[in-house]
Structure formats: structure tokens, C-alpha cells
Amino acid sequence: MAVHEHIETNQNQDSWLTRQRWIGYAALTAIAYYLFTEHRQHVIAYLPFLFLAACPLMHMFMHRGHHHRHDDANHEQQEKKS
């Protein structure tokens, strides 16, 4: 019975996180729209710098900081064989 209550709690937390994520997306979209419509000159002037800043950010988030998780799996397999 305690396990069932725990599952319901996780489902409620997941729906809350999903709701927060959508609210965040809506807020970012509204901010982007406002910046582009009202401050188009300023946004276009800084656009090349935004592209340059996006490269390291994408690299960091897509590779998750180079923690090399696949190496950890190989290391664990070698330990099991020993």
C-alpha cells in the first residue's frame, strides 16, 4: 500500500513539472516575441554573438559536460569479469 501512494506522488510531481515547463516555454516565447518586435535593431545587432555563444552552450549540454558515461560502463564490466 505504501508503494502505491509513492507512485501517485511521483505522478503528481511529474504533472506539476510538466505544467511548469510549459509555463516556462510560454514565458520565453513571450519574451522572445517582445524583444524581436520592440527591439529588433538591438537583437539583430547582437545576433552573431548569440550564435557564437550558442556553440559552447550546445556542446556543454549535449555532451553533458564530458563525463564519459560510456567509459564508466566499460569499467564496471571489467570489474565484474575480475
Chain segment 30-57, per-residue pLDDT in tens:
999 998 899 888 888 988 898 898 888 8
Residues 56, 34 share a domain? no
Residues 44, 66 share a domain? yes
Q: Which residue has the higher pLDDT, 11 or 45?
A: 45
Q: Which residue has the higher pLDDT, 21 or 73?
A: 21
Residues 31, 51 share a domain? no
Instruction: Residue 28: give the domain boundaries.
Output: 1-38
The whole-angstrom separation of Cα 7 and Cα 4 is 5
Q: How many domains does the chain have?
A: 2
